[in-house]
Amino acid sequence: MGRFRDALAQPRLGAIAEVKRRSPSGGDLRPNANPAELASAFERAGASAVSVLVDERFAGTWDDLRAARMAASLPLLAKGFFSTRDHLETAKAGGADAVLLLLRDLDDGQARELLAVAGELGLDTLVEAHDAEELARATALGAPVIGLNARDLGTFEIDRSGQLELVARAPRDRVVVAESGILNRAHGAAAEVAGADAVLVGSALMRAADPAATLADLLRRPYVKVCGLTNEEDVAVAAEAGADLAGFILARETPRRAPAVLPVPETMLSVAVYVGERGDAPSDLAQLYARENGHRARDGVLLRGEEQVARVVDRAWHEEDPEHIERARAAEGRIVLAGGLSPENVGEAIEAVRPWAVDASSSLETEPGIKDHNRVRAFVAAAR
């Protein structure tokens, strides 16, 4: 396939940064947006590709695509309501590497014809679905890149949980893009562990004071988890500090046991932490350790539903573990680094391991289960 698909089919979560001046649902977003400046800035910030709205309903034109092409070398997605060969030929002439095909507006015959035309022209496609029926159609059509839109284009309502379930059900031999409703790092993490290869981010960037810096922060790793939270005040401080994951230990043997998985803001994902047997507390993710000698085992797993989405590399329970960092460095796949991390050493640990997430608890406390707010803030700042 072409370079648009290849740019998204990388090991880590990619991002399609979108240039749009307005949207039918949100009104004016950035009326004076300069496509050339934005495309260039998004490329420097680490975008995998840039989407350019060329439809007048979004205050876009084909000139916007041409301007972006002149300013940036990364793959460009032409985004509009395309239904004819002329549309695709215009996109190709304007410098697009890929075009959007909306299954909401195309029957299977039309979609199949446009996929063939795109192939003739050397264009990739982003075939967009927003429900299970359209996902099945995209799969049957053989679409290499499938976009799953959280926004219902009829009502403009966002259903992020429905989108994540579609992402999880999408075939793993396709490149999957989570579109719309990605407003922060936690939303990106949720899409990633559900199975998305990339996210498409538009409105959040267009509303930001610095779109490129906002994109760079969305893509920056590691995610930061503050664990051992037991009260709402500490959750609020962790959220305000910028933590992405909130951990609630539900194992019986710890003095840091939480009364429940407490509510978290939408900027965070909740993680229920278990030892031995997994419980059924409602949470975005679960962290599970085996029980050994009455305590947790050294390492654990991070689960979304029943699926393992990361490996937790931790230290032995209340023991020295001199090989901890080396074990983490040698581990493959998505790694959550835990055990002995603090504001003072997390930067060095990140440099050595390059984990997907870092996790701290006891080093951030005044007493078991009670956080030192200054150390929580310092830990998040050092990790970010």
Where residue 101 falls among pLDDT bands split at 50, 70, 90? very high
Active site positions, annotated: 18, 20, 79, 128, 149, 179-180
Q: In terms of pLDDT, which residue wins out, 154 or 59?
A: 59
Answer for the pair 145, 198: CB distance below 8 angstroms, yes or no: no
Which of 196, 219, 242 finishes a domain?
219
Spell out the residues 6+ positions from residue 28 whose beta carbon is closer than 8 angstroms to its own.
21, 22, 59
Do residue 117 and residue 199 come from a single domain? yes
Report strand pairing: 307-313 vs 295-304: antiparallel
Sorting pLDDT into bands at 50, 70 and 90, what band is 294?
A: confident
Whether 184 and 257 share a structural domain: no
The domain in which residue 347 lies consists of 223-383
- Does residue 294 sit in the same domain as residue 165? no
Residue 172 parent element (H or E)? none
pLDDT at 238: 98
| pLDDT at position 261 over 70 | yes
Of 219, 237, 260, the position where a domain reaches its end is 219
pLDDT of residue 24: 80
What share of the chain has pLDDT > 90, as a percent?
87
- Cβ partners under 8 Å of residue 13, min gap 6: 188, 191, 192, 196, 197, 198, 199, 219
Q: Which two tokens stand for residue 217?
A: 């922060």
Q: Clarify whether residues 148 and 294 are in a common domain.
A: no
Q: How many domains does the chain have?
A: 2
Choose among 38, 164, 151, 143: nearest CA to 98.
Answer: 143
The predicted-structure confidence for 83-93, as pLDDT tens digits, reads as follows 999 999 999 99
**Residues 272, 277, 279: CA angle, nearest 5 degrees:** 45
Under DSSP, is residue 128 helix (H, G, I), strand (E, B) or coil? Answer: strand
The reported pLDDT for the residue numbered 97 is 98
Distance CA 268, CA 236 (A): 10
CB-CB contact of 52 with 42 (8 Å): no
Write down the pLDDT at residue 106: 97
Reported pTM: 0.93
**Are both 248 and 164 inside the same structural domain?**
no
pLDDT band at 273 (very low <50, low <70, confident <90, very high): very high
**27 or 383, greater pLDDT:** 383
Residues 183 and 40 in one domain: yes
Query: What average pLDDT does the segment 355-383 reach?
Result: 97
- Regarding whether 271 and 131 lie in a shared domain, the answer is no
Burial of 364 (C-beta count, 10 Å sphere; 0-12/13-18/19+): buried
Q: What is the pLDDT of residue 136?
A: 98
The yes-or-no verdict on residue 1 having pLDDT over 70 is no
226-240 pLDDT tens trace: 999 999 999 999 999
Domain check: are 243 and 379 in the same one? yes
Q: In the predicted model, is pLDDT for residue 61 greater than 90?
A: yes
Q: Are strands 98-102 and 27-28 parallel, antiparallel or unpaired?
A: unpaired
Question: 131 and 208 share a domain?
Answer: yes
**Who contacts 21 (Cβ-Cβ below 8 Å, separation ≥6)?**
28, 29, 30, 31, 32, 33, 53, 58, 59, 60, 206
**Least confidently predicted of 33-47, 184-198, 241-255:** 241-255
Q: CATH number for the domain including 150?
A: 3.20.20.70
Query: What confidence score (pLDDT) does residue 152 get?
Result: 75
Q: Which of 153, 185, 219 is the last residue of a domain?
A: 219
Residues 215 and 112 occupy one common structural domain:
yes
Rounded CA separation 21/52 (Å): 10
Count of CB atoms within 10 A of residue 351's CB?
8
Closest to 312 (Cα-Cα) out of 332, 290, 335: 335
Same domain as 246, residue 146: no
Q: Are residues 356 and 263 part of one domain?
A: yes
Q: What is the mean pLDDT of the chain?
A: 95
